[in-house]
Amino acid sequence: MTDFASWMKAQGARTEAALEAALPNSNTVPHTLHEAMRYAVLGGGKRVRPLLVHAAGEVAGADPAACDAAASAVEMIHAYSLVHDDMPCMDDDDLRRGRPTVHKAYDEATALLVGDALQTQAFIVLAQAGAIAAEARLKLVAELALASGSVGMAGGQAIDLQNVGKAMSRDALEAMHRMKTGALLRASVRMGALCGEIDAGGLAALDRYAAAVGLAFQVVDDILDVTADTATLGKTAGKDAAHDKPTYVSLMGLDAARELAAGLRTTAHEALGGFGARATRLAELADLIVLRTH
């Protein structure tokens, strides 16, 4: 088995190539829309969700080509959500992945359409994924749609907006993040596994892993918003505090938030116990997510 750094590098290149191929070419009409869609997706991002898809695929013995389709679809949904979240009527952010946001690089109408079309493209990619059997493809469509819709990612975003400037209990904050970021991270893990063979017990264990990692991801995000600078983050630091958004740090303090993240890392590792070496990459990704500095 190669070391984690080599695996990460290989997967990163693989994901970039898969996304490149799954996005319409900018020579295709309408040129500007396609160019802006590629700008929004390519050349940046940590690709956490594609890495989770491939790592979960390894647990289930999935064909990496099948995982490419699932990974590209999940990442397009993530990218669409960032484009829309950055717009003036939402978070109004000028910087993303160290570059101007789409509505800054282009304009608001283009950003709106880029997000809309990226969401659609995710479902095009899944529907046309020839490496996956029809039954499984349909399951992937359902997983991705449920995770990203009004009872998943978009719903979490709506709850987030409603609570700006309001006090939130830890339970309410957790419920919000379970929808806003957790649902798509969980879908990444489940979709990778569904590209291969997995029984109900295995899927339940992966769900426990994904729930812990999803929550840890958000807790660490909240910590980094306070402790990292804008150059390191590639997006505007301190914006949660500036927007008066409830976070784990504002709710429980920095030290307790760090302890929570460490505990979730342990929970994630424990959930993988039954898989043995097949789950090495998932375990390493849990470490990466908790220990990252940006």
Can you give the binding site for a second copy, defined by CB under 8 A? 24, 28-30, 32-34, 37, 80-81, 84, 87, 89-90, 107-110, 112-113, 115-117, 119-121, 123-124, 126-128, 134-135, 137-138, 141-142, 144-146, 148-151, 154-155, 157-159, 161-162
Identify the sign of the CA torsion 22, 112, 190, 126: negative
In the bound complex, what is the minimum distance in angstroms from residue 183's beta carbon to a second copy? 11
Q: Name residues whose C-beta falls within 8 Å of residue 45's C-beta, 6 or more positions apart in sequence.
A: 75, 78, 79, 97
Q: Are 127 and 69 in contact (CB under 8 A)?
A: no
Q: Any bridge partners for residue 99, and if so which?
A: 96
In the bound complex, what is the minimum distance in angstroms from residue 229's beta carbon to a second copy? 28
The runs of H, that is alpha helices, within 195-253 are: 200-227, 230-233, 239-242, 248-252
In angstroms, the CA 23 to CA 125 distance is 9
Cis ω on the peptide bond leading into residue 50 (within 30° of 0)?
no
Nearer to a second copy (CB atom), residue 82 or residue 264:
82
In the bound complex, what is the minimum distance in angstroms from residue 105's beta carbon to a second copy? 15
In the bound complex, what is the minimum distance in angstroms from residue 167's beta carbon to a second copy? 18
What length is written for the chain? 294
Nearer to a second copy (CB atom), residue 77 or residue 283:
77
Q: Are 217 and 289 in contact (CB under 8 A)?
A: yes
- The single-letter DSSP state of residue 96 is E
Read off the amino acid at residue 54.
H
In the bound complex, what is the minimum distance in angstroms from residue 3's beta carbon to a second copy? 38
In the bound complex, what is the minimum distance in angstroms from residue 169's beta carbon to a second copy? 14
Nearer to a second copy (CB atom), residue 32 or residue 280:
32
Nearer to a second copy (CB atom), residue 32 or residue 227:
32
Nearer to a second copy (CB atom), residue 58 or residue 75:
75
Nearer to a second copy (CB atom), residue 115 or residue 202:
115
